[in-house]
């Protein structure tokens, strides 16, 4: 991942934009200063942006202390997240569109779901879930296409206090089964098929396969999306479309404590299996809604489009919870940017008069390759703000986004955050902070970034600095724990650097105090903006009978940002072949899902190891990058000739 140090050009918002913005440069400075000097007072005030059943009296009770990490916000308050996202808007905007749904196939009709309709649908779904035995605190896995029912399902869980765990529809049956078991879910909600880019993923049959490895008591609620034939297990499977006809239109929102869990979302880390990130109700909603409003300068009546999938945190915070808590119109898109052609995003922007558009650098790079015509033929004049998230954006992509999509006039918000953070931590506020291509600029309110020396762990206090990015204090959207494993939470985020939250990212701060993310410093790779743990792909590979050992690293990839490079040592007596290579790629797709497919597999008779047997990934990374000059110290290798062999074969690849 390159660090775009070369582009320090400042892009300031126009005077007209600033005049209408929620926050100007002066206001940002004053509000930020208040947010860090008096977090209690600041958040006591801003916590009121949502409705509380019982108002909080305690605001912040957080500790990053070793062995005693504990994060609580608004802890004695109670609320209902679904009532905040729906009911409280009914009196003033019952007839306003809450969700615009744009289907995969542009020939099919879009849907406009009003807040009143959203209320009815969510209540019915909540009643169906209750009818299936789901109670407060129970876990519900959601494995759905990008259809409105995904939002109904999330909000229905929130309504009755059940905890949802969404599994991206691109994950395999094995990955789904592991997540159902991981949180001991009572119900899994799925659909017959998920149409995407003109193709269909068989979600129901994937779910059937996953459930073979789950408890018999797990029930399955099936939404009919395509109407295709599916197999049915009597007694286990429930037909959503039928039940929704009968279900009651009203379900009272339960009173939920601020620190009761709202959702679990599995994400990859540098070690072991993915961990269940837990977000709770009050602080998360305050933070998601506040960042949605300020980062995108969202105003009443705007049409907001985040292109992420609800299977990722971006979809949770910026398709569903943030926008709906703000009474926004949020667009949900089932398709992909390049089908039926590379103009789809822009066709949708024109069709629905989108005002804020939020996507990922990988999508921008993929579209850049198709030239400017697919963009310029559409009217994008309604767009006011452009956003990006998921990985560092390279200046070429930033400039294309700015010039071609934004006509050089729309502020670009490059938002840095994580599944763990719940919402944006570093981001320009479009009316307040001039941008630099490739920099996520400055912290959001209440966020205190610090750069530490990776070796000593000491905070670098000069303005210009480079090191690892940590956070000094909590913010309301912070994850609270790893599901069922608080120790792992402490170990992952609070043990390398004591008294700080460690993000896992490297970072540079320039002389103006702007932050530039340089990419992960751990064994997590970022493929098309999706996190993938190298350990996960490795354990999938070694689960194959012919594989003795595997080491996986990231390498620069023109569209994906990083690609997956696997070094594979075969079992004695197994001959490498093109067939086996293909089989291993397919194997990983089945074990985890298509997003984990290795882009390159290199046969490795041996892997570079230290004398104590630890694989030296640093060297493997360099070889994958075709960077042999900088292999560094290889003197601790048990067998240095292994490296020569790997280089030779990498080079032979051309």
| CB nearer to ligand WTA: pick between 127 and 435 | 435
- How far apart, in Å, are the Cα atoms of 22 and each of 108, 184, 290, 431, 528? 37, 43, 11, 7, 32
Residue found by looking up tokens 């001991």 in the block: 184
| CB nearer to ligand WTA: pick between 418 and 546 | 418
Choose among 211, 19, 171, 201: nearest CA to 593.
Answer: 171
329 is in an annotated binding site: no
| CB nearer to ligand WTA: pick between 195 and 315 | 315
Judged by CB under 6 A, the residue of 104, 259, 309, 414 near ligand WTA is 414
Determine the Cα–Cα distance for residues 188 and 173; give it in Å rounded to an integer: 12
| CB nearer to ligand WTA: pick between 206 and 415 | 415
**Residue 288 neighbours by CB distance under 10 Å:** 30
| Kind and range of the H or E run holding 63 | strand 60-63
Judged by CB under 6 A, the residue of 73, 101, 287, 417 near ligand WTA is 417
> Which span (37-45, 374-382, 386-394, 444-452) binds ligand WTA, by CB under 6 A?
386-394
| CB nearer to ligand WTA: pick between 124 and 508 | 508
| CB nearer to ligand WTA: pick between 374 and 504 | 504
Instruction: In angstroms, give the least distance from the CB of 156 to ligand WTA.
Output: 25
Q: Which residues within the stretch 284-313 sit at the binding site for ligand WTA (CB under 6 A)? A: 312-313
Instruction: In angstroms, give the least distance from the CB of 364 to ligand WTA.
Output: 12
- How are beta strands 524-527 and 501-509 bridged, if at all? unpaired
531 is in an annotated binding site: yes
| CB nearer to ligand WTA: pick between 531 and 622 | 531
Judged by CB under 6 A, the residue of 78, 97, 172, 314 near ligand WTA is 314
Instruction: In angstroms, give the least distance from the CB of 388 to ligand WTA.
Output: 6
| CB nearer to ligand WTA: pick between 28 and 266 | 266
**239 backbone φψ class: left, alpha, beta (φ>0; ψ -120 to 50):** beta
Determine the Cα–Cα distance for residues 253 and 349; give it in Å rounded to an integer: 34
Determine the Cα–Cα distance for residues 411 and 483; give it in Å rounded to an integer: 38
Tokens of 179: 């997540």
Count how many Cα atoms sit within 13 Å of the Cα of residue 539 in the half-sphere of its side chain. 11
Residue found by looking up tokens 């099919």 in the block: 108
| CB nearer to ligand WTA: pick between 505 and 523 | 505
544 is in an annotated binding site: yes
| Kind and range of the H or E run holding 542 | helix 534-542
Tokens of 139: 């876990």
| CB nearer to ligand WTA: pick between 492 and 526 | 526
171 binds ligand WTA (CB under 6 A): no
Q: What is the DSSP string of 502-516?
A: EEEEEEEE-TTS-EE
392 binds ligand WTA (CB under 6 A): yes
419 binds ligand WTA (CB under 6 A): yes
Instruction: In angstroms, give the least distance from the CB of 309 to ligand WTA.
Output: 11
> Which span (106-114, 411-419, 576-584, 616-624) binds ligand WTA, by CB under 6 A?
411-419
- How are beta strands 194-196 and 199-201 bridged, if at all? antiparallel
Instruction: In angstroms, give the least distance from the CB of 165 to ligand WTA.
Output: 15
608 binds ligand WTA (CB under 6 A): no
Tell me the number of residues near ligand WTA by CB under 6 A. 22
Instruction: In angstroms, give the least distance from the CB of 211 to ligand WTA.
Output: 27
Determine the Cα–Cα distance for residues 175 and 381; give it in Å rounded to an integer: 42
Which DSSP state fits 207?
A: H
| Kind and range of the H or E run holding 530 | strand 530-533
602 is in an annotated binding site: no
Determine the Cα–Cα distance for residues 195 and 189; give it in Å rounded to an integer: 16
Could you check whether the bond before residue 340 is cis, i.e. omega within 30 degrees of 0? yes
| CB nearer to ligand WTA: pick between 251 and 471 | 471
608 is in an annotated binding site: no
Judged by CB under 6 A, the residue of 97, 267, 280, 399 near ligand WTA is 267
Q: Which residues within the stretch 520-539 sit at the binding site for ligand WTA (CB under 6 A)? A: 520, 526, 531
Q: For residue 548, what are the contacts with CB-CB under 8 A and spacing of at least 6?
A: 542, 569, 570, 571, 572
Determine the Cα–Cα distance for residues 179 and 177; give it in Å rounded to an integer: 5
- How far apart, in Å, are the Cα atoms of 274 and each of 175, 214, 267? 10, 18, 5
23 is in an annotated binding site: no
| Kind and range of the H or E run holding 187 | strand 187-191
402 binds ligand WTA (CB under 6 A): no
Which DSSP state fits 321?
A: I
Judged by CB under 6 A, the residue of 390, 411, 476, 477 near ligand WTA is 390
Determine the Cα–Cα distance for residues 276 and 273; give it in Å rounded to an integer: 10
Instruction: In angstroms, give the least distance from the CB of 335 to ligand WTA.
Output: 21
Judged by CB under 6 A, the residue of 517, 527, 535, 596 near ligand WTA is 517
| CB nearer to ligand WTA: pick between 261 and 392 | 392
Judged by CB under 6 A, the residue of 174, 505, 522, 536 near ligand WTA is 505
| CB nearer to ligand WTA: pick between 161 and 311 | 311
Q: What is the DSSP string of 278-296?
A: EEESHHHHHHHHHHHHHHT
Count how many Cα atoms sit within 13 Å of the Cα of residue 245 in the half-sphere of its side chain. 3
Task: Please give the span between the terminal C-alpha atoms of the chain, in angstroms, as a whole number.
Answer: 21
229 is in an annotated binding site: no
Count how many Cα atoms sit within 13 Å of the Cα of residue 546 in the half-sphere of its side chain. 14
391 is in an annotated binding site: yes
440 binds ligand WTA (CB under 6 A): yes
Judged by CB under 6 A, the residue of 415, 435, 478, 528 near ligand WTA is 415
Instruction: In angstroms, give the least distance from the CB of 391 to ligand WTA.
Output: 5
570 binds ligand WTA (CB under 6 A): no
391 binds ligand WTA (CB under 6 A): yes
416 binds ligand WTA (CB under 6 A): yes
Tokens of 396: 């070429």
Could you check whether the bond before residue 304 is cis, i.e. omega within 30 degrees of 0? no
| Rounded (10°) angle between helices 578-591 and 534-542 | 120
111 binds ligand WTA (CB under 6 A): no
Local structure of 544: helix, strand or coil: coil
Instruction: In angstroms, give the least distance from the CB of 444 to ligand WTA.
Output: 12
Which residues does the annotation place in the binding site? 196-199, 314, 390-392, 414-419, 505, 520, 528, 531, 542, 544, 547, 589
Which residues does the annotation place in the binding site for CoA? 196-199, 314, 528, 589
Which residues does the annotation place in the binding site for ATP? 390-392, 414-419, 505, 520, 531
Residue ranges in contact with ligand WTA by CB under 6 A: 267, 312-314, 389-392, 414-419, 440, 503-505, 517, 520, 526, 531
């Amino acid at each position: 991942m390159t660090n775009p140090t070369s582009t320090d050009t400042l892009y300031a918002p126009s005077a007209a934009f600033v005049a209408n913005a929620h926050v100007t440069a002066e206001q940002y400075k004053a509000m930020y200063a208040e947010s860090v000097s008096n977090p209690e007072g600041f958040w006591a005030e801003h916590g009121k942006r949502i409705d509380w059943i019982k108002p909080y009296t305690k605001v912040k009770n957080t500790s990053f202390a070793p062995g005693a990490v504990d994060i609580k916000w608004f802890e004695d308050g109670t609320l209902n997240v679904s009532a905040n996202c729906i009911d409280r808007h009914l009196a003033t905007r019952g007839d306003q569109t809450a969700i615009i749904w744009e289907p995969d196939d542009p020939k099919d009709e879009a849907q406009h779901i009003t807040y009143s309709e959203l209320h009815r649908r969510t209540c019915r779904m909540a009643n169906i879930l209750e009818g299936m035995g789901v109670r407060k605190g129970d876990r519900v896995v959601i494995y759905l296409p990008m259809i409105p029912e995904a939002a109904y399902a999330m909000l229905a869980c929130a309504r009755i206090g059940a905890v949802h765990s969404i599994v991206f529809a691109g994950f395999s049956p094995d990955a789904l089964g592991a997540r159902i078991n991981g949180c001991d879910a009572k119900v899994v909600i799925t659909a017959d098929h998920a149409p995407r880019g003109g193709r269909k993923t068989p979600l129901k049959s994937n779910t059937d396969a996953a459930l073979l490895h789950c408890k018999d008591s797990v029930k399955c609620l099936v939404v009919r999306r395509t109407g295709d034939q599916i197999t049915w297990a009597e007694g286990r499977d429930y037909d959503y479309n039928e039940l929704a006809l009968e279900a009651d239109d009203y379900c009272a929102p339960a009173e939920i404590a601020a620190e009761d869990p709202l959702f679990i979302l599995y994400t990859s880390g540098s070690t072991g299996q993915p961990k269940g990130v837990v977000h709770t109700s009050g602080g998360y909603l305050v933070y998601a809604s506040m960042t949605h409003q300020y980062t995108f300068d969202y105003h009443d009546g705007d049409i907001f489009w985040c292109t992420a999938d609800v299977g990722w945190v971006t979809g949770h915070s910026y398709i569903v919870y943030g926008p709906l808590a703000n009474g926004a119109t949020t667009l949900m898109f089932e398709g992909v940017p390049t089908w039926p052609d590379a103009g789809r995003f822009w066709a949708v922007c024109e069709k629905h008069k989108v005002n804020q558009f939020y996507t990922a650098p990988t999508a921008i790079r993929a579209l850049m390759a198709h030239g400017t015509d697919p963009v310029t033929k559409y009217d994008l004049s309604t767009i006011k703000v452009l956003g990006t998230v998921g990985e560092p954006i390279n200046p070429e992509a930033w400039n294309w986004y700015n010039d071609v999509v934004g006509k050089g006039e729309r502020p670009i918000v490059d938002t840095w955050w994580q599944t763990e953070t719940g919402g944006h931590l570093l981001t320009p506020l479009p009316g307040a902070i001039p941008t630099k291509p490739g920099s996520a600029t400055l912290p959001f309110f209440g966020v205190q970034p610090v750069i530490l020396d990776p070796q000593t762990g000491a905070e670098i206090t000069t303005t210009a600095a480079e090191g690892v990015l940590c956070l000094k204090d909590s913010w309301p959207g912070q994850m609270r724990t790893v599901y069922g494993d608080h120790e792992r939470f402490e170990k992952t985020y609070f043990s390398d650097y004591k008294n700080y939250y460690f993000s896992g990212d490297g970072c540079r701060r320039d002389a103006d105090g702007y932050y530039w993310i340089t990419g992960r410093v751990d064994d997590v790779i970022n493929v098309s903006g999706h996190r993938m743990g190298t350990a996960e792909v490795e354990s999938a590979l070694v689960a194959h009978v012919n594989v003795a050992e595997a080491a996986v690293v990231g390498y620069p990839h023109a569209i994906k940002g990083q690609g997956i490079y696997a070094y594979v040592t075969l079992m004695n007596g197994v001959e490498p072949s093109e067939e086996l290579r293909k089989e291993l790629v397919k194997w990983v797709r089945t074990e985890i899902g298509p997003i984990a497919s290795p882009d390159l597999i290199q046969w490795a008779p041996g892997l570079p190891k230290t004398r104590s047997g630890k694989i030296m990934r640093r060297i493997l990374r360099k070889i994958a990058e075709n960077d042999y000059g900088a292999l560094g110290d290889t003197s601790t290798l048990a067998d240095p000739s292994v490296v020569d062999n790997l280089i030779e074969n990498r080079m032979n690849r051309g």
